[in-house]
Structure 1
């Protein structure tokens, strides 16, 4: 057991000693300044030690958790574009021992038109947020990764990481303190593509600093004072998700606290029979010691099925994030336990290094 924890700690120490702060962006602009293009990359490399379901052996993997190529652009004052690709879990072996081969797909394609100072319209392959957490950018997360149920509808719907094709509007009211989102999406088309379209909406209130970007940011590392209260609803035919969440990012005496709680009630109905009726909960909290660039954090996830006798499960993780150069260059260590009714508990140890240039 101690050997499983010692290996990632040793790797982590080596990475910290050899790393150096990085910065910079790659921009191209037209001579008149009315059009511009920005290029970037997100890379996360990871080592993972996870006890197998039998509780007797351990799966060990060194792999690329995420490799994203990013492109941002604008034309004039009203049109903006964000596009990124993803190649997740490159080289990671599954239960059968076969490694994930290189594959790349469009993760996000967000074309935005600024209707007014208050309203925006987005079209493309969009992230449909059921909560603050599921709407966050992967490059600014507090912990190692998203909670296990952040994108729980993706597999049943045949989509990737919570994305869907569609059209959505965003409004920022009351001095940007109230956010309203509503959209229409493809969802599950069915035979003959005759299913009704998927609809989703979200309302959030930010009494302090506000967010006006498409993706929700993670921890600001003590640079912002944010409190967010949100509710969401997503529906197609008899499938539905209702959610509520609270997010806090607060400077405290030169340091900072980041925390959130996200709750969702899901029912796949006849449209998504593999998505049983259930409640999910995600909670996390971290405390940044700014002088050390360190954030110890705690994450907890749980899902409870409505059906009697179904195996409920929960995951707990304690971790440490080292912000060598903010979110540009970060190292994270997480040690957690996965518990499921009727099955052995499983220990998970993961170490991740992130490089973000954008």
Structure 2
């Protein structure tokens, strides 16, 4: 009896894999153009900024049944005032934003090596920025004009990830070993360890990239948890510091009435920050907690030639022994052809603890094939 039970468990975990198309290369292009007005963006004066927020040339192929590759050749924030880091593809630079090779042994077990998402949060750890609910990522994950709170190469890191979708996609796991922080802050060159697990209670999400909103085409209820650890760092001139992050998140997307609702929320606990963020007074070695909730409603009935989707997001930043910062975003998406052709308006207010609130207004046009 025990023998047959073991066979059933192994069979559920490693299901047979269908043969995939081979010797095929797909190429795609996608870009976002922005106009952004920032109150008090230059001293007491407003800042008017035109930029290409993201430009991605995607190339993927599969020479054999088990091996495939993917890359994004990209530039981010091209033209943003005061920002230029060519080696990371920010400003005037062009770089490989993502670049990996995948050994696909089975849908339940894949090995992916190269530069890829850090599988920590849903908002910037699994969700494609081509299909966000809101105009941009959450502020603490690099959205609007914010900075990513964890060590990354624009949300990515170099390493190896084991991941898969056992039990017909009911469960997804991602386990990453990567470089993390590489400067003098990591004197022993210790590796970084990141893990994420997701339970899919309705339709599964089995790809590497998820969508931030499915526009009524999918029924999703997922619950995720993750951690991020890199030990023995020197932060704020203090040696022997362990950077540790853990997070819980939930995502819901479902048709409702004559449309579809999307909702997402996450709590993030950060110990010994490796990053600084002047917007919210986050410094290296700080402990902090982040929380956000966002939701939107997609209307199936078109208005003129497209469909509308209003949304909101509320985000809080709580830093130990410092005052809290609140960030509110509200906006509207207008879809001409799903995520491949849309216009968006967004207004974000940052409520500082000891200064006047700052507003940021963004207009976006996004197109892709």
| Normalised TM-score (structure 2) | 0.81
The Cα shift of 1:56 comes to 4.1
Equivalent in 331, 344, 349 of residue 356 of structure 2: 344
1:73 matched to 2:85? The reply is: no
Equivalent in 277, 281, 298 of residue 288 of structure 1: 298
1:203–1:65 Cα change, 3 Å: same
1:248 matched to 2:241? The reply is: no
**2:337 alignment partner, SS class:** strand
The Cα shift of 1:156 comes to 6.8
Mean Cα displacement is larger for which, 310-319 or 147-156? 147-156
Aligned ranges for residues 204-219 of structure 1 at < 5 Å?
204-219=198-213
Residue in structure 1 matched with residue 111 of structure 2 by the alignment: 121
Equivalent in 147, 162, 179 of residue 155 of structure 2: 162
Residue in structure 1 matched with residue 222 of structure 2 by the alignment: 228
Aligned ranges for residues 1-358 of structure 1 at < 5 Å?
34-52=22-40, 56-94=44-82, 101-135=91-125, 136-150=127-141, 157=151, 159-191=152-184, 194-237=188-231, 238-268=242-272, 274-292=284-302, 293-306=307-320, 308=321, 310-357=322-369
The Cα shift of 1:271 comes to 10
CA distance in 2, matches of 1:105, 1:302: 32
1:221–1:275 Cα change, 3 Å: farther
Residue in structure 2 matched with residue 8 of structure 1 by the alignment: none
CA distance in 2, matches of 1:323, 1:54: 33
The Cα shift of 1:34 comes to 2.4
Q: What's the CA shift string for 1:126-155, capped at 9, x where partnerless? A: 111322112211100011100111258857
Q: What's the CA shift string for 1:169-208, capped at 9, x where partnerless? A: 1121222111111111111235596332100101110011
The answer (yes or no) to whether the contact 2:141–2:148 under 8 Å persists in 1 is: no
Q: What's the CA shift string for 1:197-247, capped at 9, x where partnerless? A: 100101110011111111222211100000010000010101011000000
The answer (yes or no) to whether the contact 1:53–1:343 under 8 Å persists in 2 is: no
CA distance in 2, matches of 1:101, 1:56: 25
CA distance in 1, matches of 2:51, 2:275: 35
**1:138 alignment partner, SS class:** coil
CA distance in 1, matches of 2:63, 2:337: 31
CA distance in 2, matches of 1:171, 1:153: 30
| Normalised TM-score (structure 1) | 0.83
Say how many residue pairs are matched: 319
Structure 1: runs of 5+ lacking an equivalent: 1-32
Q: Quick one: higher RCO (CA 8 Å, sep 6+), 1 or 2?
A: 1
Structure 2: runs of 5+ lacking an equivalent: 1-20, 85-89, 232-241, 277-282
Mean Cα displacement is larger for which, 283-292 or 52-61? 52-61
The Cα shift of 1:57 comes to 2.4
1:75–1:59 Cα change, 3 Å: same
